[in-house]
Amino acid sequence: MLDDHLIGVLSNMGMISFIALSAYLVLVVGEISFGQQAFFAISAYASGIASAMWGWPFLGAVLWGAAVSGLAGLLLAIPTLRIRGLYFAIATLAFAEMVRLALEIFTYRVEVDGELVGPDGSEGFRDIRYIYEADISSGEFLLVILALLAVTLAAILWIERTRLGAMLRMVGEDPVLARLQGVNVNLAKIATVAAAGLIAGIGGALYAHLNTYVEPKIFNVMLGVHGLAYGLIGGLGTAFGPLLGVALDIGVLESTRAFSGYRMIVFGGLVAVLLIVRPRGLLDEAAVYRIRRFFVRKDAGD
Amino acid sequence: MADFLQNCLDGIAIGAAYALLALGFTLIFGVLRRLNLSYGPSIMAGVFAGTAAYMAFNAGLAEVAIATVIGAVVVGAYIERLCFWAIRKDMAVASMVSSFVIWMQIEEGVTLLFPDRTYAFPGILADSVVEFGPFFLRASSLAMLAIAALAVLGLLALIYRTHFGLAVRAVSENPEAARVAGVNTGLVTLLAFACASALGGLAGFLIAAGDQQITPLFGLWATFKGLIAMMLGGMGSIPGAVLGGLLLGTVEANALWYLGVETRDLIAYMLLFAVLTFRPGGLMGQAALMARRAAESRV
């Protein structure tokens, strides 16, 4: 049906989309995070430990990984509440590097079926073999990724249509005004950063199980910057924005041979130019409003 | 105790390099109120220009130093035009993200031109050691410390004693008012950026000459070390940059000795995180930042 290369590309796009969506959520409340890869990493390890070492089922391991990384988001959100802008961004960067360097030291190994399994510091974490033991094909795993992504996307889109979504956007636009309108700005930020941690965690758990092997240096700052850049390219007006960014980078730049070797130069230049001409991305609030009005007017005309 | 003192000496030696990097960072932040994360990669590009001059023409030390500084200034000017001049003044965060993606561009560009892992760089004073009783310090580190001290004095004189410095301070305080008063804000910003890049190029030359080799990873190293040192001292503060650099060097050297190499970087980031959350203005940073936060939280 689909060839292996295409399945691989689509799986990568799906998993990276979780980081892009999580960075996007933080952008909606007006902050920049260079550190969403930390939650991806925490969940990759936590879910791998659950399935490979504790014998948990796959879905339980994914939920556990997401819960642990959501909790880590909460732990990051509370001390960083009073800092904003550049300071918040650098604090998230420091946090993510702390997590990565801590994983370089973290060792926890137990014997499973006569073999030592578990994270081994900078050697990484091998043998997260659940999907091979359960005989899940890469095509089936792609469906799992897409299903979880669809659920996450639907949840974000639904929240954006509610009063809560309007409150979050208000916090991002002007926190002082939002507070005067009776919005609990601190609670909104803490909840959003925790939710963003959880969403990145889903992606991390999927990544660990598809690759069967993770090591700390995968989760370096460039992964987080890519996740952030996807929202900025695709647009901050809707949750489809970051997905458009992922599609442009991985779908077009990485997967076609035309830019091989120059991908970073093209990608870097693209983002830099977009930040000048469209600082809130292709699908920014104004574009989303025009698209929505276009469809609504069409309905009214029928 | 003797170990601790020797560690502190080693820390001061590497801290001098951090301080030089932090000075350029802080100058850019002081003028623009924005952060240039591509600062390290622009220095790295300069150092590779120096290496190219050394390999292609077997150039002497002075020529290599000049090539390094010119390379850093040219790449710095490119960053300034694309990430700072072209982006609206109130979008500080967009500039920061833009400088981060340009970092990827510079790194890939340099890697395409210089595909090997490491390249040779001419050394100065690389093997000589100065002894003080039981303690010792590399001569190149001592030279770096002296040059960092000179750079601070030169920078303070430039900012507080010259007409150009007055214009820089005016742009930093209030770009609109400076423009109305007849300051060419675009030119002043570009020149201040060029000064910071030249300072960075000098720092890069001294560090590469001490190590006698250079890799493309130098950009990452320079940005992170300079950034942490500047943030520890307080963004925009010239004495703070030096203090932050020396503090970071001393803490790292002791962490390396007592806890090992993996823990050293971890401690450095924990220190940064703690300073950002408990004292966001840095050790010598603006009290005004804290006052504004307090005022906002009362609204």
pLDDT tens digits for range B8-51: 888 888 898 899 899 988 888 887 788 889 999 999 999 999 99
Start-to-end C-alpha separation, chain B: 51
Q: What is the pLDDT of residues A246-294, one digit of tens each?
A: 998 887 777 666 666 787 888 888 888 888 888 888 888 888 888 888 8
Question: How close B143 comes to chain A (CA, Å)?
Answer: 31
Chain B residues with CB within 8 Å of chain A CB: 34-35, 82-83, 86-88, 91-94, 96-98, 100-105, 107-109, 112, 224, 227, 231, 235, 262-263, 265-266, 269-270, 272-273, 276-277, 280, 293, 296-297, 299
pLDDT at position A204: 96
| Residue B77, pLDDT above cutoff 70 | yes
d(CA B168, CA B208): 30
How many C-beta atoms lie closer than 10 Å to residue A262's C-beta?
Answer: 15
Q: Give the pLDDT of residue A279.
A: 81
CATH number of B2-298: 1.10.3470
Gyration radius from chain B CA atoms: 19
Calculate the CA dihedral of residues A274, A230, A184, B293 and round it to 10 degrees: -60
Which of A98, A175, A229 is opposite residue B266, by nearest beta carbon? A98
Alpha helices in A212-278 (DSSP H): 221-234, 240-246, 263-277
pLDDT at A219 over 90: yes
Residue A300 has pLDDT above 70, yes or no: no
pLDDT at residue A68, as a whole number: 97
| Candidate ranges A39-48, B78-87, B143-152; pick with highest mean pLDDT | A39-48
Q: Which of A181-185, A214-218, B257-261, B293-297 has the lowest mean pLDDT?
A: B293-297
DSSP B127: S
Greater model confidence, B66 or B13: B66
Per mean pLDDT, which of A1-10, A62-71, B129-138, B200-209 is the most reliable? A62-71
pLDDT for A114: 78
pLDDT confidence of residue A302: 47
Is the predicted pLDDT of residue B269 greater than 90, yes or no?
yes
In one-letter notation, the amino acid at residue A300 is A
SS3 B137: strand
User: What pLDDT is recorded for position B136?
Assistant: 77
Q: Are A25 and A199 in contact (CB under 8 A)?
A: yes
Sequence-distant (6+) residues with CB within 8 A of A34 are: A89, A90, A92, A93, A96, A221, A224, A225, A228, B100
Task: Please tell us whether the domain made up of A4-301 is placed in CATH 1.10.10.
Answer: no
pLDDT for position A233: 87
Lowest model confidence (mean pLDDT) among A186-190, B165-169, B278-282: B278-282
Count, residues in chain A: 302
Contact check, Cβ <8 Å, A101/B262: yes
- Phi, psi for A225 (deg, rounded to 5): -65, -35
The token duo for B7 is 């560690």
pLDDT > 90 in chain A, percent: 52
Q: Is the pLDDT of residue A110 over 90?
A: no
User: What's the start-to-end Cα distance of chain A, in Å?
Assistant: 40
Residue B85's pLDDT is 86
Q: Tell whether the model's pLDDT for residue B288 goes beyond 60.
A: no
For residue B90, pLDDT over 80 is answered with no
Distances (CA, A) of B14 to A192, B145, B221, B222, B229: 40, 9, 13, 12, 12
Percent helix, percent strand, percent coil in chain A, to nearest 5: 75, 5, 20
Write down the pTM of the prediction: 0.89
Q: Extract the tokens encoding A91.
A: 């604090």
Tell whether the model's pLDDT for residue A182 goes beyond 60: yes
A133 to chain B, closest Cα gap in Å: 35
Tokens of A142: 């792609």
| Angle subtended by helix axes A163-173 and A185-211, to nearest 10 | 100
Q: Enumerate chain A positions whose Cβ falls within 8 A of a Cβ in B.
A: 32, 34, 79-80, 82-83, 85-87, 89-91, 94-95, 97-98, 101-102, 104-105, 121-122, 175-176, 179-180, 222, 225, 228-229, 232, 261-265, 267-269, 271-272, 275-276, 279
pLDDT of residue B294: 55
pLDDT at A196: 96
Q: Tell me what the mean pLDDT of segment B57-81 comes to.
A: 90
As for the ipTM of the complex, it is 0.88
Q: Which of residues A106 and B31 earns the better pLDDT score?
A: A106
d(CA B276, CA B299): 23
pLDDT above 90 covers what percent of chain B? Answer: 25
Tokens encoding A84: 């904003």
- 3-class SS string, A68-136: HHHHHHHHHHCCCCCCCHHHHHHHHHHHHHHHHHHHHHCECCEEECCEEECCEHHHCECCCCHHHHCCC
Q: What is the pLDDT of residues A280-293, one digit of tens each?
A: 888 888 888 888 88
Burial B122-146 (b: 16+ CB within 10 A, else e): bebbeeeeeeeeeeebbbbbbbbbe
Structural domain boundaries of chain A?
Answer: 4-301
DSSP B33: S
Q: Which residues contact B236 (CB under 8 A, 6 or more apart)?
A: B26, B29, B30, B33, B285, B286
pLDDT above 70 covers a percentage of chain B that reads 94
Do residues A225 and A113 touch, judged by C-beta distance below 8 A? Answer: no
Indicate the average pLDDT of chain A.
Answer: 89
CA–CA gap between residue A202 and residue A6 (Å, rounded)? 22
Per-residue model confidence (pLDDT) at position A256 = 67
pLDDT band at B236 (very low <50, low <70, confident <90, very high): confident
